[in-house]
């Protein structure tokens, strides 16, 4: 068995911040590699809700081609300061001290990493008007489930069901590790 691929420097820097801050809910490497891959094929503006310590942002940035912009929003001012330091010399990345709903003023997005619980719960309606046609929304931290309807903790996973069946999006659930999956929803 070979060693896993080396992490991009920007990702390592964000992960170090995450460890220093005791932030245990940062973007997993499996999800991050998917974000970088998706970002690599995008143009225009990318966005992320819930910057945290910037790990998801760093993964997105590691895949972004020249001329693409990333806007990320975090409400915790102390985290914003630290993440801004990570991206201080990068004009392609804007770190906002703001609620996730403030991202709409930078729309339309070609890729949106919807990483705030409230935004996920709000459903596809929050994203449809801020996504460009063909733009993809990424939602992470789901427990894989092979049946229908999707279940979690003995109940129908209404969040996942809404995203997978919304007529404005074509959506699929992708396992990125044995214990976690990601939803990809592309606007029609």
87 with 111: CB under 8 angstroms?
no
Shortest CA distance to 119 belongs to which of 137, 134, 106? Answer: 137
Note the pTM of the prediction, 2 decimals. 0.94
pLDDT in tens, 97-116: 999 999 999 999 999 999 88
Q: In the chain, pLDDT over 90 holds for what percent of residues?
A: 88
State phi, psi for 94 to the nearest 5 degrees: -115, 125
Residue 3 confidence class, pLDDT cut points 50, 70, 90: low
Computed from CA positions of residues 28, 33, 36, 37, in that sequence, does the dihedral angle turn out positive or negative? negative
Q: Give CATH superfamily name and number for 9-187.
A: Vaccinia Virus protein VP39 (3.40.50.150)
63 with 85: CB under 8 angstroms?
no
């Amino acid at each position: 068995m070979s060693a896993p691929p080396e992490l991009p420097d920007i990702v390592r820097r964000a992960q170090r911040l995450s460890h220093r801050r005791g932030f245990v809910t940062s973007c997993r490497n499996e999800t991050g590699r998917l974000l970088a891959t998706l970002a690599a094929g995008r143009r225009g503006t990318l966005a992320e809700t819930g910057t945290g310590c910037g790990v998801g942002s760093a993964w997105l940035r590691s895949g972004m081609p020249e001329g693409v912009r990333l806007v990320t929003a975090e409400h915790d001012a102390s985290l914003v300061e630290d993440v801004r330091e990570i991206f201080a010399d990068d004009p392609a990345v804007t770190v906002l001290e703001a609620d996730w709903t403030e991202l709409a003023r930078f729309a339309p997005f070609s890729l949106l990493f919807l990483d705030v619980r409230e935004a996920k719960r709000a459903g596809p309606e929050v994203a449809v008007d801020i996504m460009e046609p063909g733009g993809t929304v990424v939602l992470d931290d789901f427990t894989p489930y092979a049946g229908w309807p999707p279940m979690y903790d003995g109940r129908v996973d209404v969040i996942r069901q809404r995203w997978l069946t919304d007529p404005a999006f074509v959506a699929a659930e992708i396992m990125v590790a044995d214990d976690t999956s990601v939803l990809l929803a592309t606007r029609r």
